[in-house]
């Protein structure tokens, strides 16, 4: 419990720092990292991408699998078997990371119109049962990589195999859905700070202190 409280605090800081669909902000049209991530995600279908994190099996291996996809696509600083921790690492990327709210507790399923307006292949999809500022461990979170349209590449929680599914098959059960895109450059976009803001840096300092770095 003593270790969980600082992590929850950090996640709370990050939830305030993320780029979250501000009406005056511009969602970057193109992203070179997304193109590479999409290529690896597509080529990895049928593989056990969750391995290498000490997990007993792949039933809870979605974040581990996405981390391995990102690593193979050249994003080596993101590595965690916990979706909320992986989100933290993504938001701290030196070349920038934008986050958009696709669903924030409303409705019974993901709105395709909202999703398709904002996504491109290679974007990172994160879904939570509780707001992303909470821990959301175990089955309380799921993640994947966007494919074409509403297709998602993700770890199949039944057998631990990286697979391509239609988003509603696995993600409608999560009321809080975020879409992240790497390669934003960390600049101000129409007056809204991207995710390498002061709050994210503060969160990073807290994590490093807890880790004794």
Residue range 134-175, pLDDT digits in tens:
999 999 999 999 999 999 999 999 999 999 999 999 999 999
State yes or no: pLDDT of 23 exceeds 50: no
CB burial string 21-40: b at 16+ within 10 A, e below? beeebebbeebebbebbbeb
Taking residues 28-32, what's their average pLDDT?
61
Taking residues 26-37, what's their average pLDDT?
73
* Token pair recorded at residue 73: 């696509």
Res. 203 pLDDT band, cuts 50 70 90: very low
Residue range 75-116, pLDDT digits in tens:
999 999 999 999 999 999 888 899 999 999 999 999 999 999
Nearest 5 degrees, angle CA 138-CA 210-CA 139? 5
Taking residues 56-82, what's their average pLDDT?
96
- Listed by start position, the domains of the chain span 4-210
Query: How many Å from the N-terminal Cα to the C-terminal Cα in the chain?
Result: 21
* Token pair recorded at residue 136: 């959301």
Burial class (CB in 10 A: 0-12, 13-18, 19+), 5: exposed
Res. 30 pLDDT band, cuts 50 70 90: low
Question: Which pLDDT value is given to residue 16?
Answer: 45
Based on its alpha-carbon atoms, the radius of gyration of the chain, rounded to whole angstroms, reads 16
Question: Which pLDDT value is given to residue 118?
Answer: 78
Q: Domain 4-210, what architecture? A: Alpha-Beta Complex (3.90)
């Amino acid at each position: 419990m003593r270790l969980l409280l600082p992590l929850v605090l950090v996640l709370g800081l990050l939830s305030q720092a993320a780029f979250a669909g501000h009406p005056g902000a511009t969602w970057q049209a193109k992203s070179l990292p997304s193109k590479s991530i999409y290529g690896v995600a597509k080529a990895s279908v049928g593989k056990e991408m969750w391995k290498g994190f000490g997990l007993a099996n792949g039933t809870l291996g979605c974040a581990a699998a996405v981390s391995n996809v990102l690593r193979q696509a050249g994003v080596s600083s993101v590595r965690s078997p916990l979706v909320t921790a992986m989100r933290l690492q993504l938001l701290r990327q030196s070349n920038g990371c934008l986050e958009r709210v696709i669903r924030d507790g409303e409705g019974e399923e993901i709105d395709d119109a909202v999703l398709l307006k904002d996504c491109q292949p290679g974007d990172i999809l994160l879904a939570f049962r509780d707001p992303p500022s909470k821990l959301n461990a175990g089955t309380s979170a799921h993640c994947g990589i966007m494919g074409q349209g509403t297709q998602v590449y993700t770890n199949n929680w039944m057998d631990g195999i990286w697979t391509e599914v239609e988003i509603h098959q696995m993600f409608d059960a999560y009321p809080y859905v975020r879409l992240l895109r790497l390669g934003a450059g960390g600049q101000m976009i129409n007056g809204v700070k991207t995710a390498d803001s002061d709050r994210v840096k503060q969160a990073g300092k807290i994590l490093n202190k807890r880790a004794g770095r």
